[in-house]
A and B are shown apart, each in its own frame.
Chain A
Amino acid sequence: MNSSGSGQKAIEAPLMDIRNISLRFGGVVALEGVSFDIAEGEIRAIIGPNGAGKSSMLNVINGFYTPQLGEIWYEGRRRGSIKPHNIARQGIARTFQNIALFEGMSALDNILCGRVTLVRSGFWKQLLWWGPAEREETEHRERVEQIIDFLEIQAIRKTPVGQLPYGLQKRVELGRALAAEPKLLLLDEPMAGMNNEEKEDMCRFVLDVGDELGTTIVLIEHDMGVVMDLADRVVVMDHGELIADGVPQEIMNNQDVIDAYLGVAH
């Protein structure tokens, strides 16, 4: 795992700039004045104790929650009020903390679903099937098969995902997100509940996605070892506020972070 050494990847114009986001649910403050940026091609980790607002932050990024205050700049433009499915069209994909696969469908169909934003054939062509729709379907299938090869899940492509073990479901979900060919990939605890071997596999996939496809990745993870090894830069949150932002080395020695994680005498 070499990327911690390359923590100082040239920070280009940020792919996404998050400015002063505040999110409330009634009286509950989920996020308070959070600002950070995500540079093109980096692996950006978000860490923090439970309830710190990490998943809320991802939900704001992909439009599922609309913050009361603050701005999100994506690819140099300010993003207005926009529905989640249109955000997906702009190249933002994600996986979920609790697996959110389509249980009634096979692994292959789930991953094909990820390409929904890239389908060009309209209703009538799909209805007729012969010709353009079938050719397009085959193109999508070829891309999906590459992802299946990449994630090493060839054997289970026709298995209904409900029957798969947890670790493989996580992989299929990553596959579904990758199928959209995203620019920005949001991973919400991709290694939660995995044993060491599965974690190592998943780390390798995350690194390969970054290296081979050049996808920018935002990663929420609790395993500090994983975060420090994978991430180029780390955001630390606690109680909805950002308490530190920097390369892994700085974060590990930051007193606020240590307090938040280990507790502090009052």
Chain B
Amino acid sequence: MFYREVGDFKTTYAADSQTFPIAFDRVRYYFVLIVAVLLVPFLIDDYWSNAVFVPLLVWSVAAIGLNILTGYCGQISLGTGGFMAVGAYACYKLSTEFPDLNIVFCILISGAITAAVGMLFGLPSLRIKGFYLAVATLAAQFFLVWLFNKVPWFYNYSASGQITMPERTIFGLAVTGPNVEPWAQYLICLAFVFGLAWAARNLTRGSLGRQWMAIRDMDIAAEIIGVDPLRAKLSAFAVSSFYVGVAGALYFSVYLGAVEVTEAFGINQSFLVLFMIIIGGLGSIFGSLVGAAFMVLLPIVLRNILTRGLNWDTALATHVEFMVVGCLIMFFLIAEPHGLAQLWNIAKQKLRLWPFPH
């Protein structure tokens, strides 16, 4: 009954175009924010940090990034894993070459380097569309992984070919390396997710976001009303790759600590992020977060139910988990092809009218 816009009058255009137009939504948003910042860090332990929160936050950044490119600008990319690898290796090289450089700058610069690489691999998008572009970005995926395996300079000539993140601190507090506290890990990822989600929202609601969506919906009409397709597409590739690069840097430095490129940044990761945004909802920041949550949390929840709740054999549980996750993906896509974000919107529409049917 309280989920209404009735009585919530908007007297300015700024108020009319805010992110959460309904008062209850605003309150809920601040509530989630307060819980995430003030409550979770005190309760979090190693398991929750490593299994749930940190991967959730890192994949959220990657999903927002891909959603900007695919959901908002309509350019399909299968190179997400490769671009994450660029972020990770840039972060590794920066932190080993410049040990005094703060880790936050390290991660941001890694994002910027990935943005440049992303723009380079985005150039074909000016000529080709759809499936053909997907194949072109697939080439980026394989090329980048090959490159990081092949050129020893990228992994500092280590014998194993792995890269390992040295310990780095913020205000004397370790956020990477073996001695990191779970809550510090969690908070740095949360800060990146919050800042980047906020920036993504700003970009997508302004003129640049409308240009991207115009290109997505009808590129010829967009060009004729004055959108420069070159700048719109390449800016989408740059911004998207920045996000994906930051996600790769966080994934390597804060989450895993040591990676081997073929395993950590293979084609599977590209598909994983693509699934996240398709299930979460294309063209929605909220959808990216929900999609990441769905793909990260669902297997964990299932595994816990099957192995701990039902005492199944671990191997059997793993196989069943794959099948159930696959079936659920199909179910959600059939039930609502526009993703969980759209389901959420429909639920909100219904809630607005409740208890009346219309």
Q: What CA separation (Å) do A115 and B214 show in the bound complex?
A: 12
- Chain A residues near B203 (CB, 8 Å)? 126-127
In contact, A123 and B208 (Cβ under 8 angstroms): yes
Closest to B226 in A: A88
Query: A85-B228, A138-B12, A138-B14 are known contacts. Are A102 and B223 too (CB-CB below 8 A)?
Result: no
The CB with the most chain A CB atoms within 10 A, among B210, B213, B227, is that of B210
Interface size on B, residues (CB 8 A): 30
B206 at interface, CB cutoff 8 A: yes
A148-B211 Cα distance, complex, nearest whole Å: 20
Contacting residues, chain A, for B216 (C-beta < 8 A) = 102, 104
Q: Smallest distance from the beta carbon of B107 to chain A beta carbons, Å?
A: 17
Contact (Cβ within 8 A) B229 A116: no
| Residue pair B211, A116 in contact (C-beta under 8 Å) | yes
User: B283 in the interface, Cβ–Cβ < 8 Å?
Assistant: yes
Known: A103-B217, A105-B213, A105-B217. Contact between A129 and B226, CB under 8 A? no
Given A104-B213, A113-B214, A145-B13, the answer on whether A62 and B224 have CB atoms closer than 8 Å is yes
Binary interface encoding of chain A residues 176-191 relative to chain B, with 1 for a CB under 8 A from any of its CBs, else 0:
1100100000000000
Which residue on B lies nearest to A138, using beta carbons?
B13
Minimum CB–CB distance from A244 to chain B (whole Å) comes to 28
A101: Cβ under 8 A from any B Cβ: yes
Contact call B202/A129, Cβ cutoff below 8 A: yes
* Binary flags per residue of A125-148, CB closer than 8 Å to B gives 1, else 0: 011110001100110011001000
User: Contacts A109-B210, A137-B17, A142-B13: A102 and B218 contacting too (C-beta < 8 A)?
Assistant: yes
Chain A interface size, as a band, is 35 or more
Residues of B within 8 A of A176 (CB): 225
A111 to B224: give the CA distance in the assembly, Å: 14
Are the C-beta atoms of A127 and B199 separated by less than 8 Å? Answer: yes
Interchain CA distance A112-B14 in the complex, whole Å: 14
Convert B184-221 into 0s and 1s, putting 1 for each residue whose CB lies closer than 8 angstroms to a CB of A: 00000000000000010011011110110110111011
Do residues B218 and A101 form an inter-chain contact, with CB atoms below 8 A? Answer: yes
Could you tell me if A102 and B17 are in contact, using CB atoms closer than 8 angstroms? no
B229 touches A85 (CB 8 A): yes
Residues of B within 8 A of A109 (CB): 210, 213
Whether, in the assembled complex, B272 has its beta carbon less than 8 Å from a beta carbon of chain A, the answer is: no
Residue numbers in B under 8 Å from A123 (CB-CB): 208, 235
A22-37 interface code vs B (CB 8 A; 1 in, 0 out): 0000000000000000
Q: Are B206 and A121 in contact (CB under 8 A)?
A: yes
Q: Is B222 an interface residue (CB 8 A)?
A: yes
A64: chain B residues at CB < 8 Å are: 220, 224
Interface contact A127-B202, CB-CB below 8 Å: yes
Nearest residue (CB) in B for A119 is B207
Contact across chains for A88 and B225 when beta carbons are under 8 A apart: yes
Q: Is the CB of B206 within 8 A of A116?
A: no
Chain B interface (Cβ < 8 Å from any Cβ of A): 12-14, 17, 199, 202-203, 205-208, 210-211, 213-214, 216-218, 220-229, 235, 283
Interface residues of A (CB under 8 A from B): 62, 64, 83-85, 88-89, 93-94, 96, 100-105, 109, 112-117, 119, 121, 123, 126-129, 133-134, 137-138, 141-142, 145, 176-177, 180
A-B contact pairs, 8 of them (CB 8 A): A85-B229, A96-B221, A102-B218, A113-B227, A126-B207, A137-B13, A138-B12, A138-B13
